[in-house]
Amino acid sequence: MLISEVRYGKATLPEGCRSAGRQAGPPFSVPLQKIYEKMQENTGDAFGDVFCSCMKEAMETMPLTKQDREIFLRFAAKNSFAEEAMQVKWMEQSRDMLDRTILLLEEKMEDKCRIAVGLGAMSGLLLIIILL
Amino acid sequence: MEQRLLQLFPVERRSFWKQTARVQEKVEEIRLRTGQPVLVKRQGQEWYLDDNGTFTDRPERAYRVKAGELEELLQHICHYSLYAFADEVRQGFLTVAGGHRVGIAGQVVLDGDGSVRTIKNVHYMNIRVAHQVKGAADRILPYLYKGEDLKNTLIISPPGCGKTTLLRDLVRQISEGSGGHAGKCVGLVDERSEIAGSYLGQPQNDVGSRTDVLDACPKALGMMMLLRSMAPEVVAVDELGGEDDMKALRMAASCGCRILATIHGEDIRDVSEKLQSGNLLREGLFELFLVLSREGGKPVVKQIYGKEEAYAQMAGRDHDPVGKSGAGTLVSGTVSGQTKAASEIVRHPGDAHQ
């Protein structure tokens, strides 16, 4: 959503956060809106710092590893680009990294599930043998 | 107001700029150059800032702008979204909240067709602090009216004499209604965002409740757009230049709009060529001419010309080129029979943006 705001609306990153926050459901709607509000206050903090602090707060309740969080916050850590296409590309790269991590986690989860099912069947079998 | 200037800077630099922000009303511009001392123009005088941000006149004590500081400042001014301000960067200036204008210079990147793609490696910045001088046009305004109608007026001024400040206040007062005159709908084409000082399309200066602003729009195009869409009674533009501007002015006038415009020039003869190019001279479009200048460091209205006197002066140039007649012929002008001699110079308090 944020990428679309930048690409089509040429929105600034804080504006993009506001629009994305309006459309996104929990748990992201509140922190995204908060980022916009904080940037509007213009306390002088950089967007990257505000984004990180608000999102870190929101991610505390999520089952994410440190590495996952870093990937998620990666795009905001860099200064913005002079060209919109470059900015979009950078954001897409971050999104792709996140996608890859999700894919990897899903694959790992599938493997784990398979192992769990196999172990369950084997232990069931073992139990039957013992009972007999 | 103080906060507005401070908000230009990232949090790490705010304590440095606090003292400057405190005297913001007296500050005209701030010049930042990488590796060079910070320069602040305050009431016509240049000052350095030391490491604590205190004003000093000793260059050896001056704080020098560090490498990367301007890059960071630009990011902050652009809300950490440089791409969203690509058009402004291309033009070389941005208008920020509070109506302040930030000019930038650095390494220009050109496109294949020779147009500017962007400016990278920004190492120079000029922050022009906005000051709205309400009442700057108080003494001029009565000359602009004939009954309830307005005269097509041209303000002629060299840089730094407050023509934008004067135009801004004229727009405000005409729009609101002043001196017993009813307010009029004013269409303002603000190509360089200097008059209304629009930020995200919203005027930061008071330009009146009946004013519609076309921000960052080329003058000729903007005038035509306003005529079609907003039906203004008065069209106001700053710094007339090309032939297209003149054509658009004629079009606006032929639609029954009154014109309020400014033009760069030392005196009335100086601008006659520009007006000639659009046939405005022959058609006698303008009815009132205000010539601005500076006296004792203060902006003043040096001359006020009525239609006949002004066009006679301009026509005189055709037969008597500059250099032969000299400026001595321009010591006075008349407006509706009232002679405004050089000794009766009308002062106006405008002293800010040009």
pLDDT in tens, A41-81: 888 899 999 998 888 888 877 777 787 788 878 878 888 88
Please measure the distance between the N-terminal and C-terminal CA atoms of chain B and give it in whole angstroms: 21
Mean pLDDT of chain A: 86
Per-residue model confidence (pLDDT) at position B281: 66
Per-residue model confidence (pLDDT) at position B277: 63
Nearest chain B Cα distance for residue A35, angstroms: 12
Count of alpha carbons within 13 Å of B292, Cβ hemisphere only? 31
Pair (B243, B106) in one structural domain: no
Number of helical (H) and strand (E) elements in chain A, helices listed first: 6, 0
Cα separations in angstroms, B221 against B20, B132, B190, B214, B276: 39, 27, 11, 10, 21
A89-114 average pLDDT score:
86
Q: Which of B10, B97, B118 sits opposite A46 (nearest CB)?
A: B10
Pair (B202, B121) in one structural domain: no
Per the CB < 8 Å rule, is B80 touching A83? no
Per-residue model confidence (pLDDT) at position A93: 87
Phi, psi of B143 (to 5 degrees): -70, -20
Nearest C-alpha in A relative to B11: A44
Tell me the residue range of the domain where B32 lies.
Answer: 2-128
CB A19, CB A5: distance < 8 Å: yes
pLDDT digits (tens, 9 = 90+) for B214-259: 988 899 999 999 999 999 999 999 988 888 888 888 889 999 999 9
Distance separating alpha carbons of residues B207 and A53, to the nearest angstrom = 40
Give the pLDDT band of residue B206 (cuts 50, 70, 90). Answer: very high
Q: Which two tokens stand for residue A87?
A: 């900015």
pLDDT digits (tens, 9 = 90+) for B111-144: 888 888 889 999 999 999 888 888 889 988 999 9
Coil/strand/helix, residue B16:
helix
Per-residue model confidence (pLDDT) at position B334: 35
Query: In this structure, are strands B101-110 and B116-128 parallel, antiparallel, or unpaired?
Result: antiparallel
Q: Which of A10, A12, A43 would you mutate first to test chain B, the one with the most B CBs within 10 A?
A: A12
Pair (B188, B317) in one structural domain: yes
Which of B128, B160, B179 terminates a domain? The answer is B128
CATH number for the domain spanning B293: value is 3.40.50.300
CB B54, CB B21: distance < 8 Å: no
User: Taking Cα atoms as reference points, which of A98, A88, A93 lies closest to residue A55?
Assistant: A98
Pair (B121, B176) in one structural domain: no
Quick check: A129 contacting B, CB < 8 Å?
Answer: no
Per-residue model confidence (pLDDT) at position B278: 58
Pair (B84, B147) in one structural domain: no
Mean pLDDT of chain B: 83
Pair (B43, B77) in one structural domain: yes
Per-residue model confidence (pLDDT) at position B339: 35
Per-residue model confidence (pLDDT) at position B306: 87
CB B140, CB B152: distance < 8 Å: no
Pair (B150, B293) in one structural domain: yes
Per the CB < 8 Å rule, is B76 touching A13? no
Does residue B133 sit within a domain?
no
A18-37 average pLDDT score:
86
Give the pLDDT band of residue B354 (cuts 50, 70, 90). Answer: very low
Pair (B104, B233) in one structural domain: no
Domain count for chain B, please give it. Answer: 2
B86-101 average pLDDT score:
87
Identity of the highest mean pLDDT range in A107-111, B220-224, B272-276: B220-224
The residue whose two tokens read 């505390």 is: A60
Q: What number of other Cβ atoms are within 10 A of residue B29's Cβ? A: 18
Pair (B42, B112) in one structural domain: yes
Q: Identity (one letter) of the amino acid at B200?
A: L
**pTM for this one?**
0.71
Strands (E) across chain B are located at 27-33, 39-42, 45-49, 55-56, 93-95, 101-110, 116-128, 145-146, 149-150, 153-157, 186-190, 211-215, 234-240, 258-264, 288-295, 298-306, 333-335, 338-340, 346-347
Is the pLDDT score of B171 beyond 90? yes
Per-residue model confidence (pLDDT) at position B244: 87
Per the CB < 8 Å rule, is A13 touching B79? yes
Does residue B51 sit within a domain?
yes
Cα separations in angstroms, B35 against B17, B38, B52, B139, B348: 18, 9, 17, 45, 38
Nearest C-alpha in B relative to A8: B84
Nearest chain B Cα distance for residue A51, angstroms: 11
CB B180, CB B161: distance < 8 Å: no
Nearest C-alpha in A relative to B6: A44
Does residue B306 sit within a domain?
yes
Per the CB < 8 Å rule, is A82 touching B86? yes
Pair (B120, B161) in one structural domain: no
Per-residue model confidence (pLDDT) at position A56: 84
Q: Which residues of B touch A14 (CB under 8 A)?
A: 79-81
Which of B81, B107, B128 terminates a domain? The answer is B128
Is the pLDDT score of B353 beyond 70? no
Coil/strand/helix, residue A69:
helix
Strands (E) across chain A are located at none
Per-residue model confidence (pLDDT) at position B34: 95
Query: Quick one: how far is CA A80 from the chain centroid?
Result: 19
Residue ranges of A 40-69 with Cβ closer than 8 A to chain B: 42-48
Nearest chain B Cα distance for residue A86, angstroms: 9
Per the CB < 8 Å rule, is B79 touching A87? no
Give the pLDDT band of residue B319 (cuts 50, 70, 90). Answer: very low
Per the CB < 8 Å rule, is B75 touching A39? no
Which of B86, B107, B128 terminates a domain? The answer is B128
Q: What number of other Cβ atoms are within 10 A of residue B255's Cβ? A: 14
Pair (B175, B254) in one structural domain: yes
Does residue B353 sit within a domain?
no
Give the pLDDT band of residue B212 (cuts 50, 70, 90). Answer: very high
Does residue B247 sit within a domain?
yes
Identity of the highest mean pLDDT range in A42-51, B166-175, B188-197: B166-175
Sign of CA dihedral A37, A38, A42, A48: negative
Per the CB < 8 Å rule, is A82 touching B79? no
